[in-house]
Structure 1
Amino acid sequence: MAAPDKENAEPDREIGEIVGKLAQPGELEPAERRKLLGRLAQSLAAGARKARKSGESRGRWLADVFLSIAPRIPIRDLRTLSEHHHGLTGEQLADDLVRTAQKATMTVGAIGGALAAAEFAAPPLLLSAPAQLVAETIVVAAIEVKLLAELHEVYGVRVEGTGTQRAVAFTAAWARQRGIDPFAPATVTLAIGAATKTALRNRLLKVMGRHLTTLGPFLTGAVAGGALNRAATKRLGEAIRNDLRGKQTLPTPGKRAVDADPGPKQLDP
Structure 2
Amino acid sequence: MTGDLEKRRDDEVEPAPVGGSAELGELIGRLTADEDMDRETRGRLLGRLARLLGQNARRAGAAGIARGRWLGDLLVEVAPHIPIRDRETLSAHHRGLTGEALADSLVRVASNATTGVGAAGGALAAVQFTAPPLLLTAPAQLAAETLVVAAIEVKLIAELHEVYGIRVEGPGAVRGRAFVTSWAKQRGINPLEAGTLGSALGSAAKAALRKRMLRVFGRSMTTMGPLLTGAAAGAALNRSATKALASTIRADLRATAGVPPPLPGEHRGLPSGD
Shift of 1:191: 6.0
Shift of 1:190: 6.9
Contact 2:19–2:56 (CA under 8 A) maintained in structure 1: no
Partner residue in 1 for 2:148 = 139
Shift of 1:9: 6.2
Partner residue in 1 for 2:204 = 195
Partner residue in 1 for 2:238 = 229
CA distance in 2 between counterparts of 1:246 and 1:226 reads 31
Q: Where does 1:2-21 land on structure 2 (aligned, <5 Å)?
A: 8=17, 11-21=20-30
Count matched residues. Answer: 247
Partner residue in 1 for 2:75 = 66
SS of equivalent to 1:245:
helix
CA distance in 1 between counterparts of 2:149 and 2:247 reads 17
Aligned partner of 2:247 among 238, 245, 254: 238
Q: Where does 1:53-202 land on structure 2 (aligned, <5 Å)?
A: 56-58=64-66, 59-189=68-198, 192-202=201-211
CA distance in 2 between counterparts of 1:251 and 1:227 reads 34
Partner residue in 2 for 1:259 = none
Unaligned runs of 5+ in 2: 1-15, 260-269
CA distance in 1 between counterparts of 2:112 and 2:37 reads 13
TM-score, structure 1 length as denominator?
0.86
Contact 1:118–1:217 (CA under 8 A) maintained in structure 2: no
* Residue 28, structure 1, aligned to residue 37, structure 2: yes
Partner residue in 2 for 1:260 = none
SS of equivalent to 1:247:
helix
Instruction: Note the alpha carbon deviations across 1:237-264, whole angstroms, 9 max, x for none.
Output: 1000000113225234xx94xxxxxxxx
Instruction: Note the alpha carbon deviations across 1:12-36, whole angstroms, 9 max, x for none.
Output: 1111110110011424333222111
Report the RMSD for the aligned CA atoms in angstroms. 2.0
Contact 1:178–1:243 (CA under 8 A) maintained in structure 2: yes
SS of equivalent to 1:188:
coil
User: What is the letter of the counterpart of residue 134 of structure 2?
Assistant: L
Contact 1:25–1:101 (CA under 8 A) maintained in structure 2: no
CA distance in 2 between counterparts of 1:32 and 1:212 reads 21
Partner residue in 1 for 2:271 = 251
Shift of 1:152: 0.3
User: What is the letter of the counterpart of residue 127 of structure 1?
Assistant: L
CA distance in 2 between counterparts of 1:175 and 1:22 reads 20
SS of equivalent to 1:13:
helix
User: What is the letter of the counterpart of residue 210 of structure 1?
Assistant: R
Question: With CA pairs under 8 Å and 6+ residues apart, which has the higher RCO, 1 or 2?
Answer: 1
Contact 1:156–1:251 (CA under 8 A) maintained in structure 2: yes
CA distance in 2 between counterparts of 1:89 and 1:12 reads 36
User: What is the letter of the counterpart of residue 228 of structure 1?
Assistant: L
User: What is the letter of the counterpart of residue 227 of structure 2?
Assistant: F
User: What is the letter of the counterpart of residue 193 of structure 2?
Assistant: A
CA distance in 1 between counterparts of 2:191 and 2:173 reads 16
Identity %: 57
Moved over 4 A (4+): 7-10
Unaligned runs of 5+ in 1: 1-6, 257-269
Contact 1:172–1:191 (CA under 8 A) maintained in structure 2: no
CA distance in 1 between counterparts of 2:271 and 2:172 reads 22
Partner residue in 1 for 2:217 = 208
Contact 1:63–1:201 (CA under 8 A) maintained in structure 2: yes
SS of equivalent to 1:178:
coil
User: What is the letter of the counterpart of residue 162 of structure 2?
Assistant: E
Instruction: Note the alpha carbon deviations across 1:140-177, whole angstroms, 9 max, x for none.
Output: 00000000000000001122221211110000010011
Contact 1:44–1:134 (CA under 8 A) maintained in structure 2: yes
